[in-house]
Amino acid sequence: MTHESILQPRTVLVTGGAGFIGSNFVRYLLAAQPDVRVVNMDCLTYAGNLENLAEVADNSRYAFVRADIRDPRACVEVCQENGVEAVVHFAAESHVDRSITGPAAFVETNVGGTLNLLQAARECGNLRFLQVGTDEVYGSLGPTGLFTETTPLDPHSPYSASKAAADHLVSAFGTTYGLPVVITRCSNNYGPYQFPEKMIPLMINNARQNKPLPVYGDGSNVRDWLYVEDHCRALWLALTKGTPGRVYNIGGNSERTNLEVVKAILRHMGKPESLISFVKDRPGHDFRYAIDASRIHRELGWSPTVDFETGLGRTIDWYLAHQPWLDHIVSGEYKKYYEAMYAGR
Ligand code: NAD
Ligand code: DAU
């Protein structure tokens, strides 16, 4: 099935645009869609960083609004004052380990914040709403099988539980109020500007400093890695050509064990495997995620274009060429975070 473009929004609200995927999406959109204006609503938590958007800060089609999605009035105002025609909702607390030590913020932002944005989308003209979701809502796979869009939701961490609750609210707004909603569920992203709490940039950062690389458990857990630009392309297609009410899985078709990924990083960086340190496992650690992305391929013509080895090489090169960016992040609060999360593990 092919779809004609059904939506060509002139002004898109991107929430969480100062984070990893959001900032890549803002850059992608400004470059790929010359008629689109982007409004980035972000409250700049520890994960939000305007340095991620330095190269577009002066673009006349880009505006930044520092505001919190937990504030319902701010959600309405940002839509009304900027003539927003569609919403791409990234803003979230996104790190599983932090959700285990402090779940409340995940419910407040990921559930409460999503509700506020949905209300605003209704109030401001029934705006098209793209919920940027995660494959973690499906739970964990054994050694075989793939998540499809009809796999029942079975979240295991406070993070994935909050994202599943948000997805349910999004579909409920579609069914109950006729809000034109689309949900995407993506596998693990990697690429430039990812905060070094997530596995790949954390390992790159430690390897460059010859510090131990902390692999949880025995390193046999499997993730399906997707280069972030491929994700951005899929999101624009889902927003503009996706069928309202529909879910689209997005995956990289690049399953790797964590140990394979860490060894590949060390190989690319010319560092010894003796840096690998097996540490206490994450509680409730999902064993395997793997995506069946045939629906988005069939209906919207999307497939990933960057294979894992190429994407990983690009990512490592980017981090090594942007060490001041990394140094800035890891010099402050990050040290306390790292100490609390990894000391005694
Ligand atoms: P991130 O943590 O790098 O960025 C999150 C951004 O949201 C930050 O800029 C932060 O300041 C902002 N934010 C947080 N709380 C906010 C609030 N209350 N109000 C306004 N802004 C707020 O996250 P990411 O990895 O880029 O993920 C973005 C989205 O994509 C999330 O919804 C996540 O669940 C989803 N997702 C991520 C992945 C992945 O591999 N990273 C995969 C699938 C889905
Ligand atoms: O699947 C999509 C999800 O991918 C997104 O929804 C989340 O926002 C994103 O954070 C990511 O979740 P994961 O928990 O899979 O990503 P993380 O980078 O934290 O961990 C990847 C794997 O590496 C996981 O099996 C845990 C392991 N790991 C992680 C860290 C931080 C380690 O072995 N050591 C580490 O220090």
| 15, 20, 65: residue to mutate for ligand 1 pocket, most atoms within 8 A of CB | 20
Instruction: Identify whether 259 is part of a domain.
Output: no
In a domain, 325, yes or no: no
Cβ 210 vs Cβ 271: under 8 Å: yes
pLDDT of residue 344: 84
Q: Which of 159, 193, 248, 289 is catalytic?
A: 159
Q: What rounded mean pLDDT belongs to the chain?
A: 97
What's the chain's Rg over C-alpha atoms? Answer: 19
Model pLDDT, residue 4:
45
Q: What is the CATH number of the domain that holds 129?
A: 3.40.50.720
What is the average per-residue pLDDT within 214-219?
98
- Domain count along the chain: 1
Quote the pLDDT of residue 1: 40
Q: Specify if 160 maps to a domain.
A: yes
- On whether the CB atoms of residues 257 and 222 are closer than 8 A, the answer is yes
Nearest to 288 by CA among 260, 266, 244, 256: 256
pLDDT, tens digit, for every residue of 255-301? 999 999 999 999 999 999 999 999 999 999 999 999 999 999 999 99
**Residue 307 placed within a domain:** no
pLDDT digits (tens, 9 = 90+) for 89-133: 999 999 999 999 999 999 999 999 999 999 999 999 999 999 999
**Pocket perturbation via mutation, ligand 1, pick of 28, 41, 45 by most ligand atoms within 8 A of CB:** 45
The answer as to whether 296 is a domain residue is no
Q: Could you tell me the residue range of the domain that residue 94 belongs to? A: 3-190+226-250
CA 144, 147, 152, 154 torsion-angle sign:
positive
Residue 46 lies in a domain: yes
List, for residues 161-177, the tens digit of each pLDDT value.
999 999 999 999 999 99
Instruction: Give the pLDDT of residue 130.
Output: 98
Q: How far apart are CA 286 and CA 283, in angstroms?
A: 9
The answer to whether residue 88 sits within a structural domain is: yes
Say if 195 falls within a structural domain: no
Residue carrying structure tokens 């999307």: 302
